[in-house]
Structure 1
Amino acid sequence: MAKQKTISELQAEIADNERQLAQLQHKQQQLENRRSYYEKGDRRKRAHHLITRGAAIESVAPLTKVLTETEFYSFAEKAFALPEVKGLLMEAVNEHNKNEFGGD
């Protein structure tokens, strides 16, 4: 037959379990903070990427600064639909891939 625990033993066991629970909750919070940090970093990188691309467009085509967002999107859609622009973009992507992946 199993020995019955005394009240002080049960209280010590409760205290130990509460300490372990607090440690696990702290560890969970650390992991959630780390995940949030990395997700924020990805968003910051993307925002930086978009800002620098937008700045590049404004530097080579300063007139785009006067367009509203809707007007700019309309312009960009029309410009990138032109066969000449599609061809230039494809050349740039192919050159990038060649340099990136060491193709001939």
Structure 2
Amino acid sequence: MGKELDELRREYAENEAKLQQYQHRAKRLEQRKQYYEKGERQKHVHRLITRGATVESIVPEVGGHGEAEFYQLAGHIFFLPEVKALLLWEGM
């Protein structure tokens, strides 16, 4: 009986150690996932800012209008047949 109990205690300790290793590994994977997601978000925000700045540098008058007017203007521009054709052109 004593040997059986010692064996069970040893097995329990081994399993506890494995559990801690798996929990640590899961935590590292979650942190890595968050790191990559944050990087993608930062790239997306950078791209939006850069494109907005480009529009304002090409057409400075856009900066003087409100958001609603800008969206309305952009909607009109991007639905023009010539613009649609340019956007669908594979070289763009």
Deviation by residue 1:15-71 (Cα, 9 ceiling, x = unmatched)? 111110000000011111111111111111111111100000010111111222111
Q: Aligned-residue CA RMSD in angstroms? A: 2.1
**TM-score (normalizing by structure 1):** 0.75
Q: Secondary structure at the match of 2:55?
A: helix
> Percent of pairs identical after alignment?
47
Q: Extract unaligned runs of 5+ from structure 2.
A: none
Question: Larger relative contact order (C-alpha < 8 A, sep ≥ 6)?
Answer: 2
Q: Extract unaligned runs of 5+ from structure 1.
A: 97-104
- Please identify runs of 4+ aligned residues in structure 1 that moved more than 6 A: none
* CA shift for structure 1 position 74: 0.7
* Whole-angstrom distance in 2 between the partners of 1:61 and 1:45: 24
**TM-score (normalizing by structure 2):** 0.83
